């Protein structure tokens, strides 16, 4: 397993070109093309903002709801899309696995990375929002931002490896996953604040790894005051590395079956 893991950097050229192919191919043929990378999160944001500003009351203590929402929604979209796409990626890329000697883990990795690129594009809109709402940003806090992104990357990779490998054997994971992700979304403080629910519910929220990512993003970008969630974040970082290693181990164990099962 470690041997294979250490081989991975050798494939960075391949990963790089596959990610750029993914990005080029995604919007090929659509009128707006790359603009969709901006338009998609923006439209999603419009929907939620409309619902929570006009249909329902925004949660307590949250002003500038659109900005608050965006801080959690953008990373969530990256996370969710990565998992859903990587669950099917080995099956749709079956041709590569069956016909070419190809390190299969590259496929889920490419999925996560190309969604990372979309996330980074979305950040541009987030910056526009931050400037527009004159959010109280502190440079020291902003230094934490890349760390949060890296923790999320490792966590997402871990999940992506596990899901992609298991889906080869159990095709219905793909269908289950759509519903699980909806539940997961509402169990994460994205449309509401972590501080809103009562304490005993919050304890359950703490078990959700994405809670700590969302809260970290919100504290860094939205809330005033020092970044107080860093202990949670570092713990999650450690857990993510463990999950990634476990995911890679599982993937590696099942690797030989892929060529026959997809």
Partner 1 sequence: MSNAIELTNVTKVYRKYARRKQFATLKSALLSGSLIHDLQPEETFPALQGVSFNVPAGRTYGIIGRNGSGKSTALKLVAGITKPTTGTVKVDGRISALIELGAGFHPEISGRENVFINGIMLGLTKRDVARRFDEIVEFAEMQDFIDAPVKTYSSGMYMRLGFAVAIHVDPDVLLVDEVLAVGDEGFTHKCLDKFGEFKRRGKTILLVTHALSLVERFCDEALWLDSGKVRGSGDPKRVVGAYLTDVGKSEERELAREDAKSEQRAESHEPTDRDADVQVRSVAEDMTRVDEGRWGSREIEITDVTFRNPQGEASHIFQSGDPMAIHIAVRAHQETEDFVFGIGIYSAEGVNCYGTNTHLEEFTPLQMRGDGEVTIAIGSLELVEGTYKLDVAVHKRDGYPYDYHRLLYTFRVKSRTKEVGIYRPRHTWAFSPNIQVRRDGL
Interface residue list for partner 1 (CB under 8 A): 13-14, 17-18, 21, 24-25, 28-29, 95-102, 169-173, 176, 256, 259-260
Q: Rounded to the nearest whole angstrom, what is the least distance from the CB of residue 238 to partner 1 in the complex?
A: 30
183 exposure class (CB count in 10 Å sphere: 0-12, 13-18, 19+) = exposed
CB-wise, 3 or 260, nearer to partner 1? 260
> Residue 138: left (phi > 0), alpha (psi -120 to 50), or beta?
beta
Q: Rounded to the nearest whole angstrom, what is the least distance from the CB of residue 16 to partner 1 in the complex?
A: 9
CB-wise, 29 or 225, nearer to partner 1? 29
CB-wise, 102 or 249, nearer to partner 1? 102
Q: Rounded to the nearest whole angstrom, what is the least distance from the CB of residue 106 to partner 1 in the complex?
A: 9
Q: Which residues contact 108 (CB under 8 A, 6 or more apart)?
A: 86, 89, 90, 157, 160, 161, 163, 164
CB-wise, 14 or 43, nearer to partner 1? 14
CB-wise, 7 or 138, nearer to partner 1? 7
Q: Rounded to the nearest whole angstrom, what is the least distance from the CB of residue 166 to partner 1 in the complex?
A: 9
Task: Round to the nearest angstrom and report the end-to-end CA distance of the chain.
Answer: 22
> Residue 204: left (phi > 0), alpha (psi -120 to 50), or beta?
alpha
Q: Rounded to the nearest whole angstrom, what is the least distance from the CB of residue 153 to partner 1 in the complex?
A: 23
d(CA 151, CA 79): 12
Q: Which residues contact 16 (CB under 8 A, 6 or more apart)?
A: none
């Amino acid at each position: 397993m470690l041997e294979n893991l250490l081989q991975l950097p050798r494939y960075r050229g391949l990963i790089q070109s596959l990610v750029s192919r993914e990005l080029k191919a995604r919007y090929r043929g659509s009128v707006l093309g790359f603009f969709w990378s901006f338009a998609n999160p923006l439209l999603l944001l419009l929907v939620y903002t409309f619902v929570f500003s006009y249909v329902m009351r925004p949660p307590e203590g949250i002003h500038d709801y659109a900005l608050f929402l965006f801080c959690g929604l953008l990373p969530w979209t990256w996370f969710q899309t990565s998992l859903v796409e990587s669950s099917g990626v080995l099956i749709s890329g079956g041709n590569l696995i069956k016909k070419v000697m190809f390190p299969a883990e590259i496929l889920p990795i490419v999925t996560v990375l190309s969604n990372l690129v979309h996330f980074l594009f979305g950040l541009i809109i987030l910056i526009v929002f931050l400037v527009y709402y004159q959010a109280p940003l502190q440079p020291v806090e902003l230094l934490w931002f890349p760390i949060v992104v890296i923790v999320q990357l490792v966590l997402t990779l871990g999940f992506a490896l596990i899901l992609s490998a298991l889906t080869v054997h159990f095709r219905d994971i793909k269908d289950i996953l759509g519903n699980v992700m909806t539940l997961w979304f509402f169990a994460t403080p994205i449309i509401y604040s972590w501080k809103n629910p009562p304490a005993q519910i919050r304890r359950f929220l703490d078990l959700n790894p994405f809670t700590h990512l969302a809260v970290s993003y919100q504290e860094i970008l939205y809330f005033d005051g020092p970044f107080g969630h860093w202990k949670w974040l570092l713990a999650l970082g450690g857990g993510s590395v463990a999950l990634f290693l476990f995911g890679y181990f599982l993937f590696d164990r099942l690797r030989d079956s892929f060529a026959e099962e997809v």
